[in-house]
Structure 1
């Protein structure tokens, strides 16, 4: 596939190297031609000097045939404008933008533009290494809002429909492992002894979810 990257800083240059290493065609845009020095000497992609949301510059980078576009410059406004131009003007469906302001990131996510909220994500990762808390997480989304965690469940839930646990905790199950194999639950899934349950939570719900799951369901003898 052909990928256009706006911004040749540390992130953009690393992304360009990784993509070319996977055999993809890459074009990198940056206003400062000196930035291209971050690319490997044997980089065989295209470099274009200019503003990443300028249509002429994008056309030179091959945006008309691009399968994906990444806006990873140091400016939030430039990144989101470029991402919208790539998607709305040139019809690139796979578009992502790096955003430093987590508040803006949430807005752009609602507009349908995937974002990576750099500061919030990095701070969250550091915090969880320093103070992991009671529920080790398996995965967290790029905006640092939703996490997937392993849920310790009271034995009283064994034999109960998984949907009942979801209703009681207010969260959704991502997957379960049973006899060492992962499985996506269905509406008819019943919790069995030995099941490992992984759920999707937001930070504000995590404590309450743990508390509910740690106790037997109502009416259990």
Structure 2
């Protein structure tokens, strides 16, 4: 596992390029959601720091958790620095308070320049407003720990469905912010696979080639086993410049 203050790396070589990139993620909130997210990230080999105002909450992480735990509030700059925010690749604000989550998300984006931010918002209406303002959010009605995980770390996803022979699967993936505003047809060309449907604000949508990807969309991609690593790598990076 990388230390919390390490920079992300991608090893060289054809085999290594297929491995998911190891990253450092800071999580505010160690309730059921935050603790589940932290354990899931650590199982994938990523480094994690968890912030919570109540130190007893860290018990939810279990004895096998090896990441950092920091007592404090996630919008305190000193607390964030202690959590390794300057070297972080992503931030999840999943405490029980909408205001705290939004404030922390704004501090992380505006002060530390972290673009890969997800904020949990209980009020669906407010969530949509904040997403239009450029603050990605996940409201409770369309929220689950794995959705935040896929937003933070698109690589290394688990298949949503697999055929009986085990040769074809349906992947549920997030995409790098650089793909927002791109046509689904262009995305399909880039990944060389079909996107039969996507999820937007908790509702399914069958796109056509001209449908534009919006912030917060979840892509469902049909893929063969040999194509998974390539597709994940393409979507985890910004679109290539031509």
TM-score (structure 2 length as normaliser): 0.54
Q: Figure out how many residues of one structure are paired with residues of the other and give that number.
A: 143
2:40 and 2:131 map into 1 onto residues whose CA distance is: 25
Q: Which sections of structure 2, spanning at least 5 residues, go unmatched?
A: 1-22, 144-195, 214-218, 223-242
1:175 Cα deviation after fit: 9.9
1:51 and 1:18 map into 2 onto residues whose CA distance is: 22
Cα deviation digits, residues 116-140 of structure 1 (max 9, x gap): 111x326xxxxxxxxxxxxxx9542
Matches within 5 A, 1:103-122: 103-118=125-140, 120-121=141-142
User: Secondary structure in 2 aligned to 1:74?
Assistant: coil
**RMSD of the TM alignment (CA)?**
2.7
1:56 corresponds to which residue? 78
Contact 2:197 2:220 in 1 (8 A): no
Q: Which sections of structure 1, spanning at least 5 residues, go unmatched?
A: 123-136, 151-161, 178-221
1:132 corresponds to which residue? none
2:204 is equivalent to residue 147 of structure 1: yes
2:68 is equivalent to residue 9 of structure 1: no
1:101 corresponds to which residue? 123
* Structure 1 residues 46 and 147, CA gap change in structure 2 (3 angstroms): same
User: Secondary structure in 1 aligned to 2:74?
Assistant: coil
Larger Rg: 1
* Structure 1 residues 91 and 138, CA gap change in structure 2 (3 angstroms): same
* Structure 1 residues 172 and 62, CA gap change in structure 2 (3 angstroms): closer
1:97 Cα deviation after fit: 0.4
1:149 Cα deviation after fit: 3.6
1:11 Cα deviation after fit: 0.6
Cα deviation digits, residues 28-61 of structure 1 (max 9, x gap): 0000000000002010100000011000110100
1:172 Cα deviation after fit: 7.3
* Structure 1 residues 138 and 90, CA gap change in structure 2 (3 angstroms): same
* Structure 1 residues 176 and 33, CA gap change in structure 2 (3 angstroms): closer
2:114 and 2:54 map into 1 onto residues whose CA distance is: 25
2:98 corresponds to which residue? 76
* Structure 1 residues 95 and 116, CA gap change in structure 2 (3 angstroms): same
